[in-house]
Amino acid sequence: MKGEPSCPRCGNRVHAPGDPSAHLPVVPASLVGEVPDTVPENLASLPVSALPLGSDSAVDLWHCELHGAVHPVQPVLSPDSETLGDVAAHSQVPLWLPWPLPGHWRFSGVAYAGDRIDGARATVVAASGPSPFGGEGDLLLIAEEMGIGIGARFAGLPGPDPGPIFEDTAAHAKVYAAGRPTPMWAVPGTGDRAVFVGEARGMWLWLVLWPAIAGTLLYDEVVLTDLRDAAAEIPHLPLGTLCPRFFG
């Protein structure tokens, strides 16, 4: 995530659309067969709307050698209000941030998956400040469409989505996202971090906190603002240094 587009699921380098060095996926033998009679011999006779191409087709997407077609994670952006405002203006998904921020916490960077043409399809907003029990704490707030996988990556899960986390227990915490109460489930077995996941505005919402004890912040009332709806507040955000958790 440092200097070139990367895979949201593994962080490895990705190939741009049309890159001849990309290893295209191999079609399993079980799926290879005769072309059905319903497919016309001349595809040019089909209307464009009937062709299997579009803004989300593999033709237009970047490729990870491990995970195939992906929306690339662009290089991390330093904490700057103008840069954050620009990302918010072009994003298709929320940019969540506690507002007001907890005492002495600061905005500490942003990253997104997608491009400037289609807009962000996943966002990662960082905040940093004092941990409740001493030392420094970091928080990543991730909004993403289903199947992107960047939230699971920071949570240390195989991904791309949370899986059966919601099936066995009631919600462990609650936040207010854009004014709506939003149940959040604690993800077990995440080691040095605390991870909570829920849904807000039709997207996955992940909160990843370091150290793990910083997860107690969620047992207070946490109010999240979608920065796309708070453009006037962005210039007033307290700015910190770039969060190191983007690169861990």
pLDDT tens sequence across 168-185: 788 999 999 999 999 999
Q: What is the pLDDT of residue 191?
A: 92
Contact predicate 101/204, CB 8 Å: no
Instruction: Determine contact, residues 42/50, Cβ cutoff 8 Å.
Output: no
Confidence of residue 218 (pLDDT cuts 50, 70, 90): confident
* 210 vs 46, higher pLDDT: 210
**122 or 157, which is more confident:** 122
pTM: 0.83
Count CB neighbours of 124 within 10 A.
Answer: 30
pLDDT band at 49 (very low <50, low <70, confident <90, very high): very low
**HEC readout, 192-234:** CCEEEEEEECCEEEEEEEECHHHHHHHHCCEEEEEHHHCCCCH
Residue-level pLDDT at 180: 95
Distance between CA atoms of 105 and 95, rounded to whole angstroms? 17
